[in-house]
């Protein structure tokens, strides 16, 4: 699924999980809004989600994911898997065009409508039209700088904003402490 209109990046580094997103909403090739927050905290701020794709679709998925979290409160991967199964098999949900990044103290997950629940082996995950640019920048910064997770996410998103026309530099970054 090729998703335009945003970039979401998450990095786990030095005991911190940071999630960031740009603020641009694009309809076709028109910028409609420049300062949207595409991150949401769930479950008493213990989980951070980021979304890319159609906004209404993403909010519908966030509501469903929150319901799954209530069914499986201490098992984020199970809640994500149950959402992915429902998303893939339900006639209405199947048409939704969005992707979710889900981060808690132990997990970083990508959840898609194809039934995917993927946890990156290096803790770096990017989605949206600038996701690959941001991921490449983040991996380079992890390997060749002394920056922390929040700074890596912010700098990587700024780099992506300079390359991808669907990403802007109005960046919001959230963080949580990782469990060891």
Give the catalytic positions in this structure.
Answer: 6
Residue 76: both structure tokens together = 């984020």
Sheet holding 47-53, edge to edge: 39-42, 47-53, 98-103, 108-111, 117-118
Residue 108: both structure tokens together = 């970083």
DSSP assignment of 24-92: -EEETTEEEES----EEEETTTTEEEEEEE-HHHHHHHHHHHHHHHHHSTT-HHHHHHHHHHHHHH-TT
């Amino acid at each position: 699924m090729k998703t335009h209109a945003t970039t979401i990046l998450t990095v786990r580094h030095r005991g911190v999980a940071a999630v960031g997103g740009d603020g641009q909403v694009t309809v076709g090739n028109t910028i409609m809004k420049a300062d949207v927050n595409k991150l949401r905290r769930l479950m008493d701020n213990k989980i951070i989600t980021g979304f890319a794709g159609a906004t209404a679709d993403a909010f519908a998925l966030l509501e469903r994911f929150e319901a799954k979290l209530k069914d499986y409160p201490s098992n984020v991967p199970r809640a994500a898997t149950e959402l992915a199964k429902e998303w893939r098999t339900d006639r209405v949900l199947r048409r939704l065009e969005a992707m979710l990044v889900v981060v808690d103290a132990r997990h970083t997950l990508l959840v898609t409508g194809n039934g995917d629940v993927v946890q990156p082996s290096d803790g770096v995950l990017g989605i949206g039209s600038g996701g690959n640019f941001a991921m490449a920048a983040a991996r380079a910064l992890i390997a060749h700088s002394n920056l922390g997770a929040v700074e890596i996410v912010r700098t990587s998103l700024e780099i992506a904003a300079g390359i991808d026309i669907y990403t802007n530099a109005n960046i919001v970054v959230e963080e949580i402490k990782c469990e060891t």
